[in-house]
Structure 1
Amino acid sequence: MRLPISIGWKGAAWFGVTGVLFAGLLYLADLGEFLSSIGRADPTFFAIAIAVGFSSLLVWALVWHRYFRRMAIETTLSRTVRMFLTGHFLNSITPLGQFGGEPIMAYIVSDNTDTDYETSLACVISADILNATPFFTFTLGGLLYLAVFGSLEGLLVDIAILSVLIVLVGGLVAYLLWSDNSALGTAVNRLLTAVGGRFDRAESLVRSLQERVDRIEEAFQEAGSDPGFLLTTAGVSHLAIVAQIVSLYFVFLSIGIEPDFVPLYLIVNLSVIATLSPTPGGSGTYEVAFSALVTLFFPVELATAVTAAVLFRLTTYWPGLLVGYVSMLTLRSSPTPDGAE
């Protein structure tokens, strides 16, 4: 399967930024103490953390599969899991992938299910919106808890404001995509008409683009036409965050930190804001934010906090890259008939 992906020199630069962030964090944390903390981690607890953490990826893949069935995309559950993990791998190694990886993931779906690209794109973006929703519902719930108990201050206030803004913007985008009022498609078509009017012999190109916009709009309207399905599927995606909280619980046990539910809940959900950085998969910025939150909620040294951050990513992020790469190698361009795997 050929994939339309290229990192280029800008991508290499962002990988360099990630390396600098990691190096700076380890320098501040004391590299020797960090390595010592890693070496003291309990392997049994850490193995449990890996198993539970990886299950969060499977939950998100299940959300994809529910959407595939909703949009009449014929594929098996195992192939859906492999497509999702392939997309996760490509998203995670591509700078800015967190902002624009869906077109590549839609290409993967279209290429492996014999589905038109417009339907695949609507399906992938809609599923990813539902998969992202729990982070912000949990985050806002946690921040509300802190506000009620009078401990919402400093950095947490900034995170609260940013979270609210993301929820408002994301909610508006989801509404415009799924709404049947065609406001977004109409606006795009008007823009295309205005741009095309400035160039000679562009009429056929503009008409072709407008037809594609109309097809994409129809696919999104179908994807968002059942509120009951959206609600139940969003409920399923919340299980992924529960799995990550449980995974962090066992990570903390493995390095001797006494876990407490409220800090675990907040660390998992607040740190996700850092994944929106331009670095590949949010690497570097995520570990910095995660470590800062650990030291905020627990009386531990920075080296211990960095250890927790690295181990947690080894349970919820890095295994997905390894399995995602293998999944990418197993996918074929031609779809497999349902039940034939």
Structure 2
Amino acid sequence: MTAGDRPVTRVLTWLYVGLGVALLAWVVAEVDFKAALASILGMGWQGLAAAFAIYFAAFYIDSLSWHLAILRLPLTLRWSYIVWRIRMVGEAFNTVLPAGGFGGEPIKAVLLKRHHAVSYREGIASIILARTVNLIGLVIFMLIGLILLAGHEAGGRYASFALGGFLFLTFGIGVLFAVQKFRATSRTGSRLGRTRLGARINAALGHIHDVEDRLHHFYAERPWRFVPAVLLALANWVVGAAETYAILYFLGHPVTPGEALIIESVNQMVRAATFFVPANLGTQDSALIVLAGAVTGSPEAGVALAAVKRIREIAFVVWGFVLGSIYSLRGLLKSAERGNADGDDGGNGLPSG
């Protein structure tokens, strides 16, 4: 991004946030906030603890899916904890940075490189793989939710919207997977390489070709990692529906497991479609309010559900920043130790390192 692009990006960011907030204001115009607040306070610590525990499980499952994509790392409990910790830091930045949910991905690659000797190319490839696998799991999850929605009494109002969103996202995810699986970038670069301009393009795409080779290797030659990664990604979304089920139960507006899956699947569809809105402000909340209100018959239940999910999200963002601060402190300590070692070597007339 050039310096001239930054003002435009800033304006667009605020525009997206404004549209999301305006949508939310329109949705909650006639909601009884006192009733919603009473529901939240009535949850008690048990309800909040249940919501946090279930989300933690979903987050850890998603981290395991990413772990499978990092071929260099052994599949042990210790390394699964390390991957989870790095993902906590990265997702905290993904949430707060206005970069379409991708602002924390470079941070993950840097932490893997600096602290765990995973090359940038392998780290970037694993992040792309994790994103793609996560989206494949989401397509399956949305399909299940769409089928359930079609048979629900609320389906008449929202089925067409959900079907359109599902087809749009499925097409985009399918194209993304095909580009990686069949090395579309490398093939295009090879054809253009026969021209003078193409040779320069090919040289510039050298790093991309290497990453693309790693992606193809994972899909074609590591099915025992790829298939479990997809299943774990799907499990992550299903556990997310369990969180919605638990929150509504403790709010005093119980739904069936199928209804919780409908709410969560359409909510995730909206989140994916409005990824450009920072933290999905307004869009996620509006979707939850409308869907939970339609299923439970109480818009206040939707407001309370959206608020509890935001509280949980803020808590995990803070947790991620705390873990990131620990990584930063470790980096400073290592730099200080290296500096002291270099100073000692210099004082003894010995070569550094």
- Alignment TM class, shorter chain as reference: 0.7 to 0.9
Cα-to-partner distance string for 1:190-220 (whole Å, 9 max, x where unaligned): 56887x739xxxx6x6454132122122121
Give the Cα separation in 1 of the matches to 2:107 and 2:218.
19
1:222 aligns with 2:217: yes
Q: Is the 8 A contact 2:68 2:226 kept in 1?
A: no
Structure 1 position 309 matched with structure 2 position 306: yes
The 8 Å contact of residues 178 and 224 in structure 1, kept in 2 or not, is answered as yes
Going from structure 1 to structure 2, the CA distance change for 1:210 and 1:322 (only over 3 Å counts) comes to same
Instruction: Say which structure, 1 or 2, has more relative contact order (CA 8 Å, 6+ apart).
Output: 1
C-alpha contact (below 8 Å) 2:69/2:226 kept by paired residues: no
Q: What TM-score do you get using the length of structure 1 for normalisation?
A: 0.80
User: 1:313–1:326: structure 2 CA closer, same or farther, 3 Å change rule?
Assistant: same
Return closer, same or farther for 1:34/1:221 CA change in 2, 3 Å cut-off: same
Q: Is the 8 A contact 1:89 1:320 kept in 2?
A: yes
Q: Following TM superposition, by how much is the alpha carbon of 1:63 offset from its aligned partner in structure 2, in angstroms?
A: 1.3
Q: After superposition, give the CA deviation of every residue in 1:270-318 in whole Å (9 maximum; x if it has no partner).
A: 1012213122221220010111111111111x23321112113434x33
**CA distance in 1 between partners of 2:129 and 2:60 (Å):** 17
- The corresponding residue for 1:58 is 60
Paired AA for residue 187 in structure 1: T
- Identical-pair percentage: 18
The 5 Å alignment of 1:258-269 reads: 258-269=254-265
In structure 2, do the counterparts of structure 1 residues 118 and 22 end up closer, same or farther at CA, with 3 Å as the change threshold?
A: same
- Equivalent in the alignment of 1:289: 287
Higher mean displacement: 283-292 or 160-169: 160-169
Deviation at 1:57, TM superposition (A): 0.9
Structure 1 range deviating more: 260-269 or 272-281: 272-281
Normalising by structure 2, what TM-score? 0.78
Counterparts of 1:192 and 1:40 in 2: how far apart (Å)?
Answer: 65
What is the letter of the counterpart of residue 221 of structure 1? H
Structure 1 pair 321–296 and aligned structure 2 pair: CA distance change class (3 A): same
Given candidates 267, 277, 280, the residue that maps to 1:279 is 277
Aligned to 1:54, the other structure's residue is in SS state helix
1:130 aligned onto 2:128: no
The 1:207–1:264 alpha-carbon spacing in structure 2 relative to 1, beyond 3 Å, is closer
CA–CA distance in structure 1, aligned partners of residues 281 and 107 of structure 2? 20
Structure 2 CA distance for partners of 1:22 and 1:134, relative to 1, 3 Å:
same
Could you tell me whether the CA contact under 8 Å between 1:98 and 1:275 is conserved in 2? no
Rg larger in structure? 2
Q: Does 154-163 or 118-127 show the bigger shift?
A: 154-163
The one-letter amino acid paired with 2:10 is W
Structure-1 separation of matches of 2:168 and 2:280: 19
8 Å CA contact 1:139, 1:269 repeated in 2: yes
1:91 aligns to what? 94
Indicate whether 1:211 and 2:202 are aligned.
Answer: no
Alpha-carbon distance between aligned partners in 1 of 2:300 and 2:231, rounded to the nearest angstrom: 36
* Match status 1:49 vs 2:51: yes
How much has 1:111 moved relative to structure 2? 3.6
**In the alignment, is the contact (CA less than 8 A) between 2:54 and 2:243 conserved in 1?**
yes
Aligned to 2:188: 187
**Correspondence for 2:245:** 249
- Distance (Å, rounded) in 2 between the aligned partners of 1:112 and 1:25: 46
1:28–1:125 CA distance, 2 compared to 1 (3 A): farther
CA distance in structure 2 between the partners assigned to 1:251 and 1:133 by the alignment:
26
User: Which amino acid counterpart does residue 45 of structure 1 have in structure 2?
Assistant: G
Would you say the 8 A contact 1:247–1:312 is kept in 2?
A: no
Which sections of structure 1, spanning at least 5 residues, go unmatched? Answer: 1-5, 335-341
